[in-house]
Chain A
Amino acid sequence: MSRYMLYLFCLPRQTKKDIASIGAKRQLLYFLNQKIMLKIKIFLLLLLPLLWSCSDQDAEYVNIPLEFKVPSNFPALAYNIALNPPTEKGFELGKKLFYDGRLASDGVVSCGFCHIQANAFTHHGHTVSHGVNDAQGTRNTPPIQNLAYQSIFMYDGAADHLDLQPLIPLKSVIEMNGDLNAILEMMKGDKEYQKLFAQAFDDGAITTENMLKAMSQFMVMIVSSNSKFDKYRRNEAGGTLTSDELAGYDLFKSKCASCHATDLQTDNSFRNNGLAVNPFVNDVGRYKVTELTTDYYKFKVPSLRNVEVSGPYMHDGRFGTLEGVLDHYASGIESSATLDPILKQNGKLGITLSETDKKQIIAFLKTLTDHQYLTDKRFSEY
């Protein structure tokens, strides 16, 4: 909106006629020589700051911090949130990156390609996922939920800081096959990214540091803490468990919680839970990272939240149902040198579970489904 328009309204008729007959540049000079110009100048001066702020709204945007509270029934936070506090624009940038296929070499395989919200950010129906060029992976897509409470990531613990975890799928040839420098170039040439980086970070720089911090801000905010189980634990409305669910919770506490500990159902340790080794893959698990023979075939104890929707189960997705998982623990355990001692007590392999026990445990596991998190628009692609 031109400056001229505003004060044209207040001018006497003769002056308006004069304007009509003079060119734009000379208009300004003409005005400056009029007695009434002083009033107009003052008017303009007062108006100008408003006009500037109207057109430069973006530059004056102040990044709003997002609230992050630890639910009362959760364990302690592991992520150093003070170093990278979630903000509105940091979150928005992280989400954009999460769903942007251009981070992959084929322009298609974004993080969201395998991490699908409705399935607790796992890849529904897939035992293992396929990345760029249809490359087949060897492991099942893990969920994205409550990651700020974990200190080590991936089934074999190959990443021990949330900021740096995305580097693994980003650079893996069989996943996104990405190139950090190509990604930086792409973002530097993209107006949306330029704007978001400028708003999300004090230095406004498009660097790998800021890119990863934005992704962490997005991931940290993906919290699942409002399942029926949570409401039960915090005595909130909607937290009444049925008798089967209560019985299942008791069974869970006595038979499962030694490894699946806390309200996040994991003690973050690596264990061999008696799965038969697939000879074609021979996934040695934690051994790959530590090369300690005591770590052969050990995998991270996963959280069980939202298991109802995050199948198939285990590091290679071999069990299609929760019933299959419990059948394994009851009667399918394979012995080996590194089998967890908990699964081999008094010479008996596995955990004693009757058919009723299994039914009730599964009823309990379904109370861990958090519909608010599964449908939260803040995390959604569309």
Chain B
Amino acid sequence: MKNTLYTALAIVALSLSLFSCSGDDNNETVSGNGKITLKFDNAFGANDLILDTQGNTTSNSEVLKISLVKYIVSNVVFTKADGTTFTYPKSKSYFIADESTAAGQQLQLTDIPAGDYVKVKFGIGVDEAQWKLGASGQGDFLAQADAAGMMWTWAAGYKFFALEGTFTSPTVLTATPFMIHTGKTGTDYNYTEVTLDLPTKALVRSNITPAVHIITDLSKIIDGKNKIKLSDNNMGGMGAMIMSGANLPLITENINGMFRVDHVHND
């Protein structure tokens, strides 16, 4: 009798707690603002990226040792489950992702309206509309980019994406420098926007800051939809310097396919 009573009580207590949990979700009011963190986790293929020492092999049997990875992320837009979007204020939306610093691996965005978000969109580089405004709307970003080495000196322009290091290949036997810089050239603008689905919803609340883990697969830069051989761009054996011309639109297309959201934490 006593046991039955206790069991019954236990069952009731358990049910109450379980039901009240789900009850809380239904009754929660979604209001106010919160923050989201976008984490850019640089990888090469299935491996985490380790700067300098790790050899990374492409489908063309070129082996890359990467010493620098930086890119400008901008124009961030979030989409909610109901289809409505939130555009992060443009003038605040220009960031420099940088593998070599802790601060450069995650971008924290503030004053995001609370809600359940299912998609994130961002641009790589400075968009053409902003570029055409000249200095207007830049704020301090030119100086930031200069400090990060993300500006060209031979032309007035930003580097949208920078990847540097050394490589070897079946035809290049000693470690030779390479630099890949994308940005606006005389013929192409080379800005691209990436839209990613979030595998689980990012729940922004005043007391929850979701972290969206994005994996950037750097192997795709020269080994993506378009295959580019560093060895073919090694003028006089002095290094593969890909910074302008017809390669850039191809690389930009590759960059567009380089990102995916691995997971989302809501805590």
Interface residues of A (CB under 8 A from B): 80, 83-84, 157-165, 167-168, 171-173, 179-181, 184, 205, 207-213, 216, 286, 288-292, 295
State whether B185 touches A159 (Cβ < 8 A): no
In the complex, how many angstroms separate the beta carbon of B158 from the nearest chain A beta carbon? 10
Add 16 more A-B contacts to A289-B244, A290-B186 (CB < 8 A): A84-B134, A157-B186, A158-B154, A158-B155, A161-B134, A164-B157, A172-B154, A180-B142, A180-B143, A180-B147, A184-B143, A205-B139, A207-B138, A208-B141, A212-B134, A289-B155
**A167-B151, A180-B146 as given contacts; A290 in contact with B135, CB under 8 Å:** no
Complex Cα spacing A67 to B132, Å: 24
Complex Cα spacing A179 to B153, Å: 11
State whether A171 touches B146 (Cβ < 8 A): yes
Complex Cα spacing A208 to B134, Å: 11
State whether B187 touches A290 (Cβ < 8 A): yes
State whether A158 touches B136 (Cβ < 8 A): no
Chain A: CB-nearest residue to B141: A208
**Chain A residues, Cβ within 8 Å of B129:** none
State whether B151 touches A171 (Cβ < 8 A): yes
In the complex, how many angstroms separate the beta carbon of A330 from the nearest chain B beta carbon? 32
State whether A208 touches B154 (Cβ < 8 A): no
**A83-B134, A162-B134 as given contacts; A168 in contact with B153, CB under 8 Å:** yes
Complex Cα spacing A211 to B139, Å: 10
**Chain B residues, Cβ within 8 Å of A288:** 154
Judge whether B23 is part of the interface by a CB distance below 8 angstroms.
no
State whether B133 touches A171 (Cβ < 8 A): no
Judge whether B199 is part of the interface by a CB distance below 8 angstroms.
no
**Chain B residues, Cβ within 8 Å of A160:** 156
Please name 8 pairs of A and B residues whose Cβ atoms are closer than 8 Å in the assembled complex, sorted by A: A84-B135, A164-B134, A184-B143, A208-B135, A209-B139, A212-B138, A213-B136, A295-B186
Complex Cα spacing A295 to B185, Å: 14
Complex Cα spacing A295 to B136, Å: 31
Complex Cα spacing A290 to B184, Å: 10
Complex interface residues of chain B between 147 and 165 (CB less than 8 A to chain A)? 147, 151, 153-157
**A180-B142, A286-B186, A289-B186 as given contacts; A209 in contact with B137, CB under 8 Å:** yes
Complex Cα spacing A158 to B151, Å: 13
State whether B245 touches A291 (Cβ < 8 A): yes
Interface residues of B (CB under 8 A from A): 131-143, 146-147, 151, 153-157, 185-187, 244-246
State whether A161 touches B132 (Cβ < 8 A): yes
Complex Cα spacing A371 to B135, Å: 32
Complex Cα spacing A167 to B154, Å: 9
**Chain A residues, Cβ within 8 Å of B133:** 80, 83
State whether A163 touches B136 (Cβ < 8 A): yes
Chain B: CB-nearest residue to A185: B143
**Chain B residues, Cβ within 8 Å of A207:** 138-140, 143
In the complex, how many angstroms separate the beta carbon of A161 from the nearest chain B beta carbon? 4
**Chain A residues, Cβ within 8 Å of B140:** 184, 207-209
**Chain B residues, Cβ within 8 Å of A171:** 146, 151, 153
State whether A291 touches B134 (Cβ < 8 A): no
Which residue of B141, B147, B153, B185 contacts A290 across the interface (Cβ within 8 Å)?
B185
**Chain A residues, Cβ within 8 Å of B139:** 205, 207-209
Complex Cα spacing A173 to B133, Å: 26
Complex Cα spacing A216 to B136, Å: 11
Complex Cα spacing A329 to B232, Å: 41
In the complex, how many angstroms separate the beta carbon of B153 from the nearest chain A beta carbon? 4
Chain A: CB-nearest residue to B247: A291
**Chain A residues, Cβ within 8 Å of B131:** 161
In the complex, how many angstroms separate the beta carbon of B189 from the nearest chain A beta carbon? 11
**Chain B residues, Cβ within 8 Å of A80:** 133-134
State whether B134 touches A167 (Cβ < 8 A): no
State whether B135 touches A291 (Cβ < 8 A): no
Complex Cα spacing A159 to B147, Å: 20
User: Considering residues B133, B135, B139, B141, which has the most beta carbons from chain A within 10 angstroms of its beta carbon?
Assistant: B135
**Chain A residues, Cβ within 8 Å of B134:** 80, 83-84, 161-164, 212-213, 216
Chain B: CB-nearest residue to A208: B142
**Chain A residues, Cβ within 8 Å of B186:** 157, 286, 289-292, 295
Which residue of B132, B138, B156, B244 contacts A208 across the interface (Cβ within 8 Å)?
B138
In the complex, how many angstroms separate the beta carbon of A155 from the nearest chain B beta carbon? 12
State whether B135 touches A179 (Cβ < 8 A): no
In the complex, how many angstroms separate the beta carbon of A277 from the nearest chain B beta carbon? 19
**Chain B residues, Cβ within 8 Å of A84:** 134-136
Top 3 A-B pairs, shortest CB-CB distance: A163-B134, A290-B186, A291-B245
Chain B: CB-nearest residue to A169: B153
State whether A209 touches B153 (Cβ < 8 A): no
**Chain A residues, Cβ within 8 Å of B143:** 180-181, 184, 207-208
